[in-house]
Structure 1
């Protein structure tokens, strides 16, 4: 029969038509929607497609009795919470206890007393409504608490990141500032030094040309200081000093880029992606060197021709720092787990770059031959606070922040391809404009 969604629906199960008639008329007069079944089997079938709010269940029936019907209903997750009231002519305490043990909430004795039937039905309908309302309220409060917790975690993550980047930015900016003066002095003076030495050497050559027979003391001193070697090696020293000063200047520039405070700046600037990757590699160079477990990590650059892009340089540098650091961690973990240092294993990070097919963005791929990830881990790596590292190795914020920077701040994409034991590859896609 059709059941109104605004009234309580009661199923009455009894094999005696006279009993059904009395109960149906009594409950119908009170406004309840009533359906009937003449056996436990029919009741179970009917309930499978139309769940009642309450069941009145006779104990003594042919086929499966009321006890067995109740047992099956309570074993089914879909019907286990429907309140069941037994209808019985049995008044022995053992049957009553058995009914309650199986999960019944109450019982009505035959012959029926109308007042008693209605009182018990109304009570348990009301209790069921209270339970349903309570469950809804609990679910609502749980959902609110979950949302509040997520918002709190997001706020904490942003606060931690803001403070961390602010402190790190101030530190790096300070270091870069302190490096500027000595770098400038070394860089500027190395050129003057090179010119002075060229002049002195030319002056010395003139002396040797016009005074080929020096005094004995001069000859002995020239041999003592190995004058020929000094003359040959001095240009090499100057070249090395100039290269070193240029490297320090590049490192200083890299530190300033990484320390840029863009938290309150919504203006993107043009930048060359390859420069930021190279800056990151320079800052992480000490971690790429050989250690007691492995040889030096080989960095293979497969850069394609790419235009400048509009971005937040400091944030982009942070993403590269995180991904390349993770690649180094993955290689170190792989080597330690597999003891590959006993064999010929060349740790490697390969960095690819190219323009995407429709020429609207650039793609950077950072691939390592480290430990790799399972499908379960890969599915969670961009979640806030998820990490597979030990407590002292990280907070679990890095990849979630990198994802936010790429997707939310730059309108780009970040995803990962990885197989456990066969390395990982992180792919970034950034719009050009």
Structure 2
């Protein structure tokens, strides 16, 4: 026997003497034997308990062996059971038909005990090897999928780490001179007021000392310089806002789980993505509507959650661009490009973030592939729709959910739910 448990053989033959002979023969060899005297009884016996192998006679009344074989092969649960035909028919056509139906062997009657036992053992060994091969293939497929997912995540993490380091470095280098400019602008405004008063006093004391053309230029400078310095102050503050957004996004030097304000994270990303929201040759400016609810601070890996929101927002922009770049007979059919952000506290333990766009939508035939590693709707080398890493960050790392609904030319809505706290984090 191939193992400690006896292999089960089902003998199907309408001649009782043949069944009796084969049963005694196979029991002597250590097989567990069951019997069926018709095709219908054979099908019921197989459904009740799957045998390891079937010895099947061809010529039987009501339902012949060919029909029994066909029905077994049509059923997913029984199609892999090896079938050996036993028949007095020795014609080539009968053998060819048997193999076409899926039989693994054909034994002509009369046969010797040694021959039939040898053929049975051979087919059982092949069946066992096939099962092992299927099992190993499943293990390899699982391992390959795991490697794909982890490779995608590692690549993305390396990209994000490099980007975070670059952003942190740039923010630091910009912050110092901007702070210097901002601080000194206030002093410059004070100095200007002092100089302006001195000039006014000088002109009052000596009205004719400065010719009229020069006096007009001085008046223009005195009137324009405050607004000029005010614009410079606004510009410095704007740069400071961008620098702060860069710092918020990079979370440089921070690691592990911490409680963050998700609204602050979303706002910083919108500041960084503002250049992509501006009008282009194909479309008007993308409007962003924020409907923020009152959210509790959320304990999470701040860098990773920021990465998720960045991916979703960039995909929303890409989707809108794709819609406006595609030819549409009536441009008025396009709605104003818009991204809508909505947050709400679902309950004390869970928050929800919704990011919806008015873009091209996701076709039905690829929606099931959105979270596949390396899947992309973009050309090679471009950042595509694939959100495998984002999905793993939300579901596996943060025990939340990431779902979406979409329709072609009607936009897409992604919904992220996150627990307020993470296990082991107080």
TM tier, smaller: 0.7 to 0.9
Residue 49 of structure 1 and its aligned partner are, at CA, apart by 4.3
Greater Cα shift, 193-202 or 5-14? 5-14
| 1:127 counterpart residue number | 122
Of residues 205, 208, 212 in structure 2, which corresponds to 1:214?
A: 208
Residue 295 of structure 1 and its aligned partner are, at CA, apart by 0.7
Which blocks of at least 5 consecutive residues in structure 1 are unaligned?
A: none
| 2:339 counterpart residue number | 349
Preserved CA contact (<8 Å) 2:51 2:81: no
CA, structure 1 residues 345+228, in 2 after alignment: closer, same or farther (shift >3 Å)? farther
Q: Secondary structure at the match of 1:367?
A: strand
CA RMSD of superposed structures (Å): 3.3
Preserved CA contact (<8 Å) 1:262 1:315: no
Matched, 1:381 2:370: yes
- Counterparts of residues 108-119 of structure 1 (less than 5 Å): 108-110=108-110, 116=112, 118-119=113-114
| 2:233 counterpart residue number | 242
Q: Distance in 1 between matches of 2:372 and 2:273?
A: 25
Preserved CA contact (<8 Å) 2:355 2:413: yes
Q: Distance in 2 between matches of 1:340 and 1:196?
A: 61
| 1:392 counterpart residue number | 381
Q: Distance in 2 between matches of 1:17 and 1:411?
A: 63
Of residues 386, 391, 409 in structure 2, which corresponds to 1:421?
A: 409
TM-score (norm 2): 0.83
Q: Distance in 2 between matches of 1:218 and 1:275?
A: 56
Q: Secondary structure at the match of 2:288?
A: strand
Q: Distance in 1 between matches of 2:18 and 2:405?
A: 68
| 1:159 counterpart residue number | 154
Deviations 1:114-154 (A, max 9, x none): xx1x2233223212221222122212321332233234324
Q: Distance in 1 between matches of 2:324 and 2:51?
A: 62
Matched, 1:140 2:135: yes
| 2:424 counterpart residue number | none
Q: Secondary structure at the match of 1:293?
A: coil
Greater Cα shift, 196-205 or 72-81? 72-81
Q: Distance in 2 between matches of 1:24 and 1:376?
A: 54
Preserved CA contact (<8 Å) 2:305 2:393: yes
- Counterparts of residues 204-353 of structure 1 (less than 5 Å): 204-207=199-202, 209=204, 211=206, 213-215=207-209, 218-223=211-216, 225=217, 227-261=218-252, 265-268=255-258, 270-339=259-328, 342-343=331-332, 345-353=335-343
Residue 80 of structure 1 and its aligned partner are, at CA, apart by 6.2
Preserved CA contact (<8 Å) 2:90 2:108: no
Preserved CA contact (<8 Å) 1:257 1:317: no
Residue 332 of structure 1 and its aligned partner are, at CA, apart by 0.4
Q: Secondary structure at the match of 1:417?
A: strand
Q: Distance in 1 between matches of 2:247 and 2:190?
A: 31
| 1:185 counterpart residue number | 180
CA, structure 1 residues 197+340, in 2 after alignment: closer, same or farther (shift >3 Å)? farther
Deviations 1:49-103 (A, max 9, x none): 4544444444444445455555555555524642223231x55666556655654
Q: Secondary structure at the match of 1:418?
A: strand
Residue 48 of structure 1 and its aligned partner are, at CA, apart by 4.9
Q: Distance in 2 between matches of 1:66 and 1:311?
A: 64
Q: Secondary structure at the match of 2:347?
A: coil
| 2:107 counterpart residue number | 107
Structure number with greater Rg is 1
TM-score (norm 1): 0.82
Preserved CA contact (<8 Å) 1:52 1:82: no
CA, structure 1 residues 230+73, in 2 after alignment: closer, same or farther (shift >3 Å)? same
